A = this chain, B = another copy of it.
Amino acid sequence: MPLIECIPNFSEGRRQPVIDAIVAAIASAPVDVLDASSDTDHNRSVVTFVGEPEAVAEAAYRGIQTAAEHIDLTEHTGVHPRVGAADVVPFVPLRESSLAECAALARTLGQRVGESLGLPVFLYEEAALVPGRTDLAHIRRGGYAGLRERMQQPEWQPDFGPGQLGKAGAVVIGARRLLIAFNAYLDTDDEQVARAIAYKIRASGEGLPLLKAIGVIVGGVAQVSMNLIDFRQTSLHAAMSALHAAAAEHGVHVTRTELIGLIPQAALLDYALASLQLPRTTREQVLETRLGAANGDYRPLVFE
């Protein structure tokens, strides 16, 4: 049975009744909601849910519809760049599913959202139909106002739906691999240091492939905010090693880190093996993996 994850981002992180209505709309489809977290600074909520293909597409549709009814982008304030009430809707293959199948799902949903909800839809990453739209940041540059202006150009017509933005903005729908969102705080309040470290480690700077990073100030403290696009290619261990090295060059240190959203067990286990200098084959020595293979019970053992 294929299992697909959907992690829509909504441009509402403050009005709890609106957030609740969006989550309830999603949960009214036969999916499992794994996580819902809101950020008041960013005025943004992220919902994580999983299910079979048709169910996740239906849940996403209901979430988009509810968000579009309640969120007015022309009145929106918040730190995070955004172009729509339902801002980004990525599908991620988890089990017995491929990126291509998730891309097909994204396109089908995009067409329905464009036609039935009357919202402009841009397809991104694996689902992109127009070259140059693979990159989410590119579509979202300048936020709602920036996209509204660009849409006056013929090459910025949406993939589905009307050619101009209404109050609910656009929806960016796509398919991608599971990503890991991870922030590291530094013992400095110098934003330039965080930005220089981010540049040093990220793919678009001098750093590692498939690693995104920006330097920002959060609560008065410098933070390097990272996205690992494919942790099998550029691992958590590689990213952290690069981060520690770059921080050392600037005479600063990582004081603590935080994980945004969910992380697959394999990313943490791989990190542990690499950091412990254990061979990768040690993965096969995990007790629960052996237990599961022997009797089908993969539940984590609890030792308190």
Contact = CB atoms under 8 A, between A and B. Distances in A.
A294 interface: yes
A298 to B, nearest CB: 4
Nearest to A51: B295
Contacts of A94: 291, 301
Contacts of A240: 276
A272 B262 contact: no
Interface in A267-295: 268-269, 271-273, 275-279, 282, 285-292, 294-295
Interface in A176-220: 177-178, 184
Interface in A233-265: 236, 240, 254-259, 261-265
A301 to B, nearest CB: 5
A282 B267 CA distance: 13
A130 interface: no
B273 A303 contact: no
Given A271-B275, A275-B272, A301-B94, A287 B259 contact: no
A271 B282 CA distance: 15
A75 interface: no
A29 B260 CA distance: 47
Contact of A50 (B34, B232, B236, B294): B294
The size bracket of the interface on A is 35 or more
Contacts of A265: 265, 269, 286-289, 300-301
A292 B287 contact: no
Contacts of A292: 298-300
Contacts of A288: 264-265
A95 interface: yes
Contacts of A295: 32, 50
A231 B288 CA distance: 16
Nearest to A255: B277
Given A35-B290, A266-B302, 4 more contacts: A232-B303, A257-B278, A258-B278, A259-B278
15 contacts: A34-B290, A48-B290, A95-B301, A232-B303, A232-B304, A236-B276, A240-B276, A258-B278, A259-B285, A263-B285, A265-B288, A266-B301, A266-B303, A268-B272, A271-B272
Considering the complex of A and B, which 10 residue pairs feature the smallest CB-CB distances, nearest first?
A32-B294, A298-B298, A268-B272, A34-B290, A272-B272, A262-B287, A271-B272, A265-B288, A257-B277, A264-B287
